[in-house]
Amino acid sequence: MTGDLTLYAFKLSLWAGAPRLAIHELAIPNVKQVEVDLSKAENFAPSYLKKNPNHTVPTLEIDENNDKNYLQDTESVVEYLNSLAGNKLSLPNKKAEIDEFIKEMHEKADVGNPLFFTSGTKEELESKKNDIIPFLENRIKGWEVYLKEAPEHADLYKKNINETKAVLDIYNGSDSNAMFLSNKELWESGKQFLDKAESLLKSNGDYLFGPYSIADIHFTPYLFRSTLVRKPEQVFENRPALKAYYDRIQSRPSFSKTFQ
């Protein structure tokens, strides 16, 4: 292993789940994990922005004799961890297909976070508000503190404060129709991607591309989040291969170490 590794993550983060899972799946030793509490907007702290100006998790710090380099997106972090284990999770003959699948997951089909923070019905809004409201209020408090500490990032903090207050207003009683529509459109995108996974599993067997691979590392947190933002029966309806797959990945020791 080259250098000392520190993974900046958040246990409840969707995409930080992928490198956390990879560390367990690949048995990579001596990776220090630092919790970045997104509920307090710690990913916007001035000190964190120096590591990752995109204010996202995960971030992997690679420290070689105090020469620190940072990988700032999920794909790069997982790829690096896989390389440390001799590319154990790579399938060279299916690389193009896997790359395309992962790219779509992180772009067009990346709906897990907005689905978590929005609601599609009045009933869902009421069931979520006691969790969502304090989460968002604490983020605003964090940004307000950082605004005083680092006025050079004022535009970034003010933008997020204003956008979050708009979501809070909906949870506190303002018109919710636009949110409901957006939530339903997001879930349509999510369902299309789940259908794609179902098709792959029917063609390839136990895992997305046959053997367990880097694609499964990325898709596991995606599917786990799907079961949190929708009822499991909605996720697995008419997707028997996906349901069997989820049972299979849940039985792997790495799953419980990462998500439970």
Rounded mean pLDDT of the chain?
Answer: 98
- Mind giving me the DSSP string for 96-132? HHHHHHHHHHHTTT--HHHHHHS-SSHHHHHHHHHHH
**Model-level pTM?**
0.97
Angle at 189 between CA 188 and CA 191, to 5 degrees: 65
Cα–Cα distance for residue pair 254/20, rounded to 1 Å: 9
Cα–Cα distance for residue pair 158/140, rounded to 1 Å: 9
Q: Is the pLDDT of residue 136 over 80?
A: yes
Q: Is the pLDDT of residue 7 over 90?
A: yes
Can you tell me whether residue 208 is helix, strand or coil?
A: coil
Determine if the peptide bond prior to 46 is cis (ω within 30°): no
Given a contact cutoff of 8 angstroms between Cβ atoms, the answer to whether 143 and 157 are in contact is yes
Q: Is the pLDDT of residue 259 over 90?
A: yes
Determine if the peptide bond prior to 58 is cis (ω within 30°): yes
Given a contact cutoff of 8 angstroms between Cβ atoms, the answer to whether 16 and 58 are in contact is yes
Cα–Cα distance for residue pair 5/18, rounded to 1 Å: 16
pLDDT confidence bin for 3, thresholds 50/70/90: confident
Q: Is the pLDDT of residue 2 over 80?
A: no
Q: How many residues does the chain have?
A: 260
pLDDT score at 146: 99
- Span 191-249, pLDDT tens digits: 999 999 999 999 999 999 999 999 999 999 999 999 999 999 999 999 999 999 999 99
3-state helix, strand and coil shares in percent for the chain, rounded to the nearest 5? 65, 10, 25
pLDDT score at 200: 99
Tokens found for residue 173: 């009683």
Within 8 A by CB and 6+ apart from 76, the residues are 60
- Span 159-179, pLDDT tens digits: 999 999 999 999 999 999 999
What percentage of the chain carries pLDDT values higher than 70?
A: 99
Cα–Cα distance for residue pair 33/8, rounded to 1 Å: 6
pLDDT confidence bin for 113, thresholds 50/70/90: very high
Mean pLDDT to the nearest integer, 183-191: 98
Q: What are the structural domains, with CATH classification, of the chain?
A: 4-90 (3.40.30.10), 105-259 (1.20.1050)
Q: Does an H or E element contain 43, and which? A: none
Cα–Cα distance for residue pair 122/106, rounded to 1 Å: 29
- Span 12-51, pLDDT tens digits: 999 999 999 999 999 999 999 999 999 999 999 999 999 9
- DSSP tally for the chain: helices H, then strands E: 12, 4
Given a contact cutoff of 8 angstroms between Cβ atoms, the answer to whether 62 and 71 are in contact is yes
